[in-house]
Amino acid sequence: MIPAQEALARLREGNRRFVENGAAAGGRPGAGQQPFAIVLGCSDSRVPAELIFGQGFGDLFVIRVAGNIVAPSQVGSVEFAAERFETRLAVVVGHTQCGAVTATLEELRQPQGHESPNLRAIVDRIRPTIEPLLATPIAKDPAALAAEATRANIRASVAHLRHGSALLERRIERDGLLIVGAEYCVEAGTVEFFDD
């Protein structure tokens, strides 16, 4: 584990190099913002949207939250980008090995009840989507269960964005806003977009 002061020094040094060398192919700081896509993704440090999609400054409007859950602040952020920048694509990006999904499955199987209310809020957003999977044959295969739970969580977030905001519903109907799900494979680096 890296001590806090060493971590802070790494960030300072990294920013110094960034300013001196620029962002290479990603463009330069200070560029305008006209994102062509909104990405609601997980906070997992292995899933940086700009890197996995090969984009630079101003290209993506990125919202990151553990478990790519949809709460009012995430809906509001998507609404903001759709309204302010007229962005017509929103992608919910989940990923393999998602810690928030794993934590929810663990809580469902062996409730602990000792985490903070804030951590609990994340688990509680994921729980209704994946709890029904425990009553299916897939529950006997931990790897298959985790994979299906991750995909179910992505689809639930997509549905929430599509149907949880009158503003986004209007943008879908009138302006062609498309909201899709995708899964990033941390092992291979590939993204699979969902057709539904």
- Flag whether pLDDT at 137 surpasses 70: yes
Per residue in 83-124, pLDDT (tens digit) is 999 999 999 999 999 999 999 999 999 888 767 899 999 999
pLDDT score, position 115: 73
Candidates 74, 88, 37, 93; CA nearest to 161 is: 74
Mean pLDDT of the chain: 93
CATH code for the domain defined by 31-193:
3.40.1050.10
CA dist 169 to 5, 24, 152, 175, Å? 46, 38, 21, 10
Task: Kindly report the pTM of this predicted structure.
Answer: 0.91
Render 68-133 in DSSP notation, one character per residue.
G---HHHHHHHHHHHHHS---EEEEEEETT-HHHHHHHHHHHS----S-HHHHHHHHHHHHHHGGG
DSSP 67: G
Domain ranges of the chain: 1-30, 31-193
pLDDT class of 32 with cuts at 50, 70, 90: confident
